[in-house]
Amino acid sequence: MKSGFGLLTASFLILISGCKREDRGFRVSAPAANAIQAISLDPIHPGGASTDELIKNDYEENAYALSEGKRLYSQMNCVGCHAHGGGGMGVPLMDDKWIYGSRPEQVFATIVEGRPNGMPSFRGKIPDYQVWALVAYVRSMSGLASQNAAPNRDDHMHLGPPESSREQQSPKDVPPTK
Amino acid sequence: MSRRAREHKAWRFNVGAGVILLMLFAASGCRGSQNVLNPGGSQASHISNLWWFYFWITVSIYCLVLIFLISAIIRTTRKPFVPAGSREVLPTNSDEERRKTIFIGAAIGLSLATLFVLFLADLFTGRSLHSLRAADALTIKVTGHQWWWEAVYEDQVASNQVTTANEIHLPVGKPVQIKLASHDVIHSFWVPNLHGKKDLIPGHPTTLWIQADKAGVYRGQCAEFCGHQHAHMRLLVVAEDEEYFQQWLSRERSNAHIPETENQIHGEKVFLQTTCVMCHAIQGTVANGKVGPNLTHVANRRMLAAGRIPNARGYLAGWILDPQHLKPGVQMPQHNLSSDQLQALLDYLESLN
């Protein structure tokens, strides 16, 4: 009886998580557009450390947003420099090395602000909610987004495993090489 | 009135309304800009001729079958009742048996002959559909996107190529080659007044020859389910006299109108400095996006958003601010423009003729 109840609860929870995964938000506001104010790349702060609140990007659990991120990744030409995660002119995105931070708000800032040695600023060029979709997809490339929601197939030929079955990397902060 | 009688009346009303709707629907089928039975070109005439040929043959067969059925019922009810188990149930009458055998054999032979005639009609229609060809014909490359049509008028000289979207113009009376391709999923190119359907399969380019013999505006529609906004993936085909067509083509070849008024200049800045420039191209500016429709001469088009809305200032404003309301799921994002920016952008886009 007890196990039956447990099973029922578990299946209910699975169902609920499924709703979130398949939710298609066409008219949405970005998860945390103001988060960019709180981002810092430096651990040293005047007057004591600021509270380091972790920002959660709901898009990392949403299959539609992740696939939109994947579409934008090539349409906005991220693919031109970062290739399909292996890097080229730009740094690889499917490994565990992050020069400017791996947390969602840090990736968001990197896209919006641009970074030295080639990464352009996309401020005002991509709406915030689409940047958040890109952030979710970029993190899914190294297995940091939900594996249940990450894209598991590609429209074109793809040599590597799909994003949904990438091994989750443990992000390491590394300084820029130049 | 009892509940049952009321239900019966409601049912009768529903059936009546249904029949009237069906008749209106059938009557509306005789004209229109998106209609197989209103051909605007030779190929569509072949198709509609075949359709009517099939229609009249099958209708006459249906009537014949009904006549035989009714006469059989009448004859059976007139015959005296024979109780089951009596010896009269299976009378043997070799003359009648022979007559019936001949009759049924002839009916089967006639059916086979009719089917063969239909088959031949189909075959010859197919042949004449595929016989349309011409050297040096105008070639338009039509690419299906979710959910709009891209059209490129090919030319030997690269700078003479014209890229437009959701509205193609054709010269009347000339065969035109349409090269079909898909950018994402399977679509289907279908302009019923000009030709049948042709699927656009990713990675498998195909061609279709069409010819419009009557000037007019015909409507096409994606005919293969391609996602959320499949129903709002339409295109217009404008068939016009050679002279008008050449005028249209040379205007489309030219660079975009250079902004003149202060508001238009501001609008161009808004276009180039915000999200628009990431996806759209305007020939003659730095905007060279390939993701969305080319907007070089957008003000000349009759419709916007692949036939979803008419091309008018108010609709355009709504479309720019909140496309997800008009066409949920469309790849164009919402934009937070101030009213000054929006008005300037509208002035600029309306000047692109």
How many other CB atoms are found less than 10 A from the CB of residue B193?
A: 26
Q: Which two tokens stand for residue B220?
A: 């096409």
Q: Look at residue A48 in the predicted model and tell me its pLDDT.
A: 61
To test the contact with chain B by mutation, choose from A26, A28, A76, A130 the residue with the greatest count of B C-beta atoms within 10 A, namely: A26
Picking from B176, B175, B188, the residue whose alpha carbon sits closest to that of residue B149 is B188
Q: Check A155 against B184: CB less than 8 A apart.
A: yes
Give the pLDDT confidence score for residue A8 in this predicted structure.
Answer: 80
Phi, psi of A31 (to 5 degrees): -60, -45
Angle formed at CA B57 by CA B56 and CA B59, multiple of 5 degrees: 60
CA distance B123 to B115: 12
DSSP β-bridge partners for residue B239:
B170, B216
- What is the phi-psi region of residue A150: left when phi exceeds 0, alpha when psi lies from -120 to 50, beta otherwise? beta
pLDDT, mean over chain B? 89
d(CA B174, CA B133): 10
Taking CA atoms, B313 is separated from B26, B263, B351, in Å, by 36, 15, 11
Quick one: pLDDT at residue B116?
Answer: 96
Q: List CB contacts (< 8 A) between A27 and chain B.
A: 322, 324-325, 328, 334
Question: Inter-axis angle of helices A128-140 and A104-113, to 10 degrees?
Answer: 120
- Bin A124: left if φ > 0, else alpha if -120 < ψ < 50, else beta: left
Q: Sign of the C-alpha dihedral, residues B170, B175, B178, B179?
A: negative
In contact, B198 and B206? CB cutoff 8 Å: yes
- Residue A78 gets which letter from DSSP? T
Disruptive mutation site among A68, A75, A132 for chain B (greatest number of B CBs within 10 Å) = A75
Q: Give the closest residue to A118 by CA, choosing from A87, A86, A142.
A: A87
Q: Give the pLDDT confidence of B68-86 residue by residue, as tens digits.
A: 999 989 988 776 666 666 6
Residue B71 has a pLDDT of: 92
**Six-digit token string for B248:** 């249209």
For residue A117, give how far its alpha carbon lies from the nearest alpha carbon of chain B (Å): 22
| Phi, psi dihedrals of residue B350, rounded to the nearest 5° | -70, -15
Contact predicate A45/A119, CB 8 Å: no
| B238 sits in which H/E element | strand B234-240
Structure tokens at B71: 């006469």
Higher pLDDT, A155 or B198: B198
Residue A25's Cβ-count burial label (10 Å; 0-12, 13-18, 19+) is middle
Q: Are A110 and A123 in contact (CB under 8 A)?
A: no
* Nearest-by-Cβ selection for B328 from A26, A127, A155: A26
Residues B274-311 as b/e (b if ≥16 CB within 10 A, e otherwise) read bbbbbbbbbbebebebebbbbbbbbbebebbbbbbbeb
Determine the residue type at B75.
R
CA-based nearest distance B291→chain A, Å:
7
Residue recorded with tokens 């987004």: A145
- pLDDT tens digits along B264-323: 999 999 999 999 999 999 999 999 999 999 999 999 999 999 999 999 999 999 999 999
Distance CA B158, CA B148 (A): 24
| pLDDT tens digit at each of 178 positions of chain A | 567 777 787 777 666 655 667 777 776 665 555 555 556 666 666 766 555 566 788 888 888 999 999 999 999 999 999 998 888 899 999 999 999 888 888 899 899 999 988 899 998 899 888 999 999 999 999 999 888 888 888 877 777 788 888 888 888 888 776 5
The answer to whether the CB of B240 falls within 8 A of the CB of B302 is no
Task: Give dist(CA A80, CA A68) in Å, integer.
Answer: 18
> Cβ–Cβ of A127/B275 closer than 8 Å?
yes
Report how far residue B48's alpha carbon sits from residue B43's, in angstroms, rounded to the nearest whole number.
9
Characterize the bridge pairing of strands B148-153 and B138-145.
Answer: antiparallel
Architecture of domain A57-178: Orthogonal Bundle (1.10)
Six-digit token pair at B135?
A: 């050297």
Q: What is the pLDDT of residues B111-161, one digit of tens each?
A: 999 999 999 999 999 999 988 888 889 999 999 999 999 999 999 998 899
Give A26's contacts in chain B (Cβ within 8 Å). Answer: 324, 328-329
A71 touches chain B (CB under 8 A): yes
In whole angstroms, give the CA distance from residue B65 to residue B116.
19
Collapsing DSSP to helix, strand or coil, B199 comes out as strand
In angstroms and rounded to an integer, the radius of gyration of the C-alpha atoms of chain B is: 29
Which of residues A173 and B5 earns the better pLDDT score?
A173
Nearest to A29 by CA among B319, B279, B275, B333: B333
Q: What is the pLDDT of residue B136?
A: 86
Q: How far apart are CA B145 and CA B142, in angstroms?
A: 10
Answer whether 0.90 is exceeded by the pTM: no
